[in-house]
Amino acid sequence: MAISPFEERYRTEMNAIFEDGNKLRRWMDVEIALARVHARMGTIPKEAAKQIEEGAKKVKPERVLEIEAEIHHDLMAMVRALSEQSGDAGKYVHLGATSYDIEDTATALIFLDAIRTLDTRLGTLAGVLRDLAKKHRKTVCVGRTHGQHAVPTTYGLKFAIHYQELLRNRERLKEAKKRIGVGKMSGATGTMATFGAKGIEIQAAVMKELGLEPAKASNQVVQRDRHAEVLCDLALAAALLEKIAKEIRNLQRTEIMEVSEPFGKKQVGSSTMPQKRNPHKCERVCSLARLVRANVQTAFENIALEHERDLTNSANERAVFGESFIAVDYMASEMTKILQGLEFFPENIERNLNLTHGLIMSERLMIALTEKGMGRQEAHELVRELAQKAFREKKDLKALVKEKKLLPDKELDLIFDPHTYIGCAERIVEEAVKD
């Protein structure tokens, strides 16, 4: 039975990238690249590199675990298992390298695969947000600030804002690839002493084999600011997904009920209250976002390792790297499905638009009065007093303004029509999603 929910409940295609089997393959990819470079440089026989590459195909994960149980060193267990399968060439496996030359370089390959996978997922979500923004560019609703009704906006603008933020998140991850796509072959303290005068050339050649950039300076590890940056970018993506989920949750409140996450015909909302339609999918997204943010703190703690390195980063990285990527991938997948099935309640959107009996049109009324020659501050105070009176006496603001005979009735009809007070919202949406 799985202990981590990421093994089953929140499993996605991302799991395969962080599972031990793939990590083992990536470790051996680095060992093969190192052997090839040694062979080209004449450090080992040319046929040895081919033997090591063939040997890697025969290594069984069970044998690696068996060796690790004896020696208590996972990387060296792989080295010994690979050596066993490489015949005479086994003596050249891992030549000149230290454990984290292999591990950190392999981690870079894993991170790049994970970012590519996540970007595909986010790209699908971006398409859904773009379509919703276009479809609802004219769906007028009340805007809310400080939890209070403000002035009208549109659902299209809401989705366009999310869409643009998602583009920024994808850009950040793309930028991070430049800094995480870095490996090393610099030895125990970063001096490359085991490679002699050829160290810099060997490192560059190995990284070229793997499609990575060589770290210009490192100690026993690739510096952890690189990994922390990626986890920060994942946390930013998670924060956006949480923001969308929280907006849906709030708009799904019984007294608001403008939109709702999908609810299946046989779905159960509560074990005791049969009527419940809980937004549990959105709540799950918000919950996982907290975990992703918490993992960033761990990544920051890992930056300040002692001297040329200590091992305090190793154990937690086995958890936080995979967890963060899988969590965000799962959240993006869930949010895509939520938005694809998002249910709208037009009658409630319209009801809420008129809930304050015209108070949300106070700004427009103030502007109209200034256009008639009234000073801006005088107009603001007049409308404020009328708005407060309408609130206290539970009257329509429009009726109070009519009593004052401040503006012609025809003008007031337009001023108090919320559907005609959305400014450039449509054009903003068009510009935001045209790419």
**Could you read off the pLDDT of 293-312 as tens digits, one per residue?**
999 999 999 999 999 999 99
Is residue 337 within 8 A of residue 247, CB to CB? The reply is no
Q: Is residue 84 part of a domain?
A: yes
Domain range for 401 is: 359-415
End-to-end distance of the chain based on CA atoms, in angstroms? 46
User: Alpha carbon of 150 to those of 146, 159, 243, 282, 360: distances in Å?
Assistant: 9, 18, 19, 25, 6
- Dihedral angle sign, alpha carbons of residues 148, 149, 152, 155: positive
pLDDT digits (tens, 9 = 90+) for 370-426: 999 999 999 999 999 999 999 999 999 999 999 989 899 999 999 999 999 999 999
pLDDT digits (tens, 9 = 90+) for 330-346: 999 999 999 999 999 99
Token pair, residue 380, equals: 């603001």
In order, the DSSP letters of 163-219 are HHHHHHHHHHHHHHHHHHSEE---TTTSS-GGGGGGHHHHHHHHHHHHT-EEPSS-S
Q: Is residue 60 part of a domain?
A: yes
Mean pLDDT calculated for residue range 231-253? 98
Q: How far apart are CA 166 and CA 328, in angstroms?
A: 13
Q: Is residue 111 part of a domain?
A: no
Q: Is residue 397 part of a domain?
A: yes
Helix/strand/coil percentages in the chain, nearest 5: 70, 5, 30
The helix (H) or strand (E) run that includes residue 141 is: strand 140-145
CATH number, domain at 369?
1.10.40
pTM above threshold 0.75: yes
Range of lowest pLDDT (75-84, 146-155, 269-278):
269-278
Q: How confident is the model at residue 43 (pLDDT cuts 50, 70, 90)?
A: very high
Mean pLDDT calculated for residue range 146-158? 98
DSSP category for residue 134: H
pLDDT digits (tens, 9 = 90+) for 70-94: 999 999 999 999 999 999 999 999 9
The helix (H) or strand (E) run that includes residue 280 is: helix 280-301
- For the chain, what is the domain count? 2
Which of 95, 124, 144 terminates a domain? The answer is: 95
Q: How far apart are CA 237 and CA 428, in angstroms?
A: 23
DSSP category for residue 360: G
CATH number, domain at 38?
1.10.275.10
Which of 47, 76, 95 terminates a domain? The answer is: 95
Which of 34, 68, 95 terminates a domain? The answer is: 95
Evaluate if residue 1 carries a pLDDT over 80. Answer: no
The helix (H) or strand (E) run that includes residue 101 is: helix 99-135
Quick one: which of 222, 188, 206 has its CA closest to 30? 206
Q: Is residue 205 part of a domain?
A: no
Q: Is residue 298 part of a domain?
A: no
Q: Is residue 163 part of a domain?
A: no
pLDDT digits (tens, 9 = 90+) for 342-376: 999 999 999 999 999 999 999 999 999 999 999 99
Q: Is residue 364 part of a domain?
A: yes
Q: What is the pLDDT of residue 269?
A: 79
Q: How far apart are CA 124 and CA 163, in angstroms?
A: 11
Q: What is the pLDDT of residue 369?
A: 95
Instruction: Give the residue numbers annotated as catalytic, written as ranges.
Output: 146, 270
Is residue 108 within 8 A of residue 180, CB to CB? The reply is yes
